[in-house]
Chain A
Amino acid sequence: MFRHFQALVVCALALLCASPAFAGELRQGGKLMLTSGVSTVEGSAGGGLATWALIAGNETDAGIGGSAHATIVALPDFDLKSVGGAIGLHNRVEFSYAHQSFDTRRAGATLGLGRNFTFGQDVFGAKLRVIGDAVYDQDRVLPQISIGVQYHRATKSAIIAAVGGKHAQGTDFLLSASKVVLARSLVLGATVRFTKANQFGLLGFGGDRSDAYHAEFEGSAGLLVSRRLLLGAEIRTKPDNLGFARERKAVDAFAAWQFERHLTVTAAYADLGSIATFKRQRGAFLSLQASF
């Protein structure tokens, strides 16, 4: 699985080096506010849960940028934390990393894992902008389109196997389209993710019910209220591979506020549905992102 990731990285670097922008002097910043998105829990540029075709960082085609994020999703029975970062090269290629920890709190005892048993995973991502400019191509219907790959490595392989998960590692493949419809002050995004992940990968990949790749959908729509504030909603469908607990879609309604050029705070009300037999996991999503 890691081979796919390496192949994409090599392919992305080759494309980058072939682009003429690489030859010139590097230049810091230059992207318009909010047009590098915020960070997903997987570290990639996006909304909070949904991946966008945008490339992380404030850089343009003439520079290198990046972002770092810290996110907490406080649910009735669990806490999900994510910390990580991304590097954007010439607004063309993005490399991202996030570490997630999923604290089962008291539910861990109920599940027989022990109180505060914590699942975890590392997510390594690469994204390549293939065509289109989400911001400047306002006379074209064509959105910005990116392809991506994410390699997930979950930490608790023994428990994952015990609940029916087939693998502790998995590779997701993503195809994303994003568009700012400036005349309507809208930001729209859609992603198809080919994945086997159970609960984002925290409960492993594939399961007793299915061990095949599933095409899942991530959609987002936002309204630019001011140049600093984006209000929106997201949906992310997920596979349902494990027999012991049903898994359904995640949705959220968010506000992303770039209160300073390099700092964006995102607050959301997220509904992650049922997790490991614990129903109605709805709570607060809070994320701080620094970008350059």
Chain B
Amino acid sequence: MVLLALALALQTTPPGEDPVDPYPHSNANAGATPFKGSAMLAAFHGRAGVDRIADDLVTRIVIDPRIADILKGQDEVRLRRLLKEQFCYILNGGCGYSGRTMREGHKNLGLQTADVGALVEDLQAAMRKEGVPFAAQNRFLAKLAPIKRDAVER
């Protein structure tokens, strides 16, 4: 019943996004457990800072010659929203994550290790621009790093 309700809820496509097939929702799909406390969210300058970083990250990756081709034809509006949700959820900013699992979300993208490296560097640049302290950047990246195993094609 819960799953059915969730699937139905998904039928409403957020404005500007392409419709997607229903899938089970769970915060566990974010691929990482949230930090405890509020220090990490503060280091990222709250929800507003997280949103700026996610927006800047997408702006960077769509023009990054190493990975831009992979993102052609992807729903950029949805990507921005899900990255904001995912980052906010992991940083304990009080958000839920409504995307697919990391494995499903990256399926058929043909990602390689070097693409993940490029993405990490773009995220580092976005965090630097926001003024996130380097140690806090690394703590966040430590949470994201294991997602690589699900994101890269085997």
Chain A residues in the interface with B (C-beta under 8 A): 20, 27, 29-32, 60-63, 91, 135-140, 181-185, 224-227
Contact = CB atoms under 8 A, between A and B. Distances in A.
A132 to B, nearest CB: 12
A60 to B, nearest CB: 4
Chain B interface main SS type? helix
B114 A62 contact: yes
Counting chain B residues whose Cβ lies within 8 A of the other chain, the interface size class is 20 to 34
Nearest to B149: A136
A135 B143 CA distance: 12
Given A138-B145, A227-B124, A30 B138 contact: no
Interface of B: 112-118, 120-121, 124, 134-135, 138-139, 141-143, 145-146, 148-149, 154
Contacts of A224: 134, 138
A182 B134 contact: no
Chain A to chain B: the 9 pairs with minimum beta-carbon distance, closest first? A30-B114, A182-B142, A60-B113, A183-B142, A138-B145, A139-B146, A138-B142, A30-B117, A136-B148
B43 to A, nearest CB: 13
Contacts of B120: 32
Contact of A138 (B113, B135, B146, B154): B146
B112 A27 contact: yes
A60 B114 contact: yes
A251 to B, nearest CB: 26
Contacts of A29: 114, 117
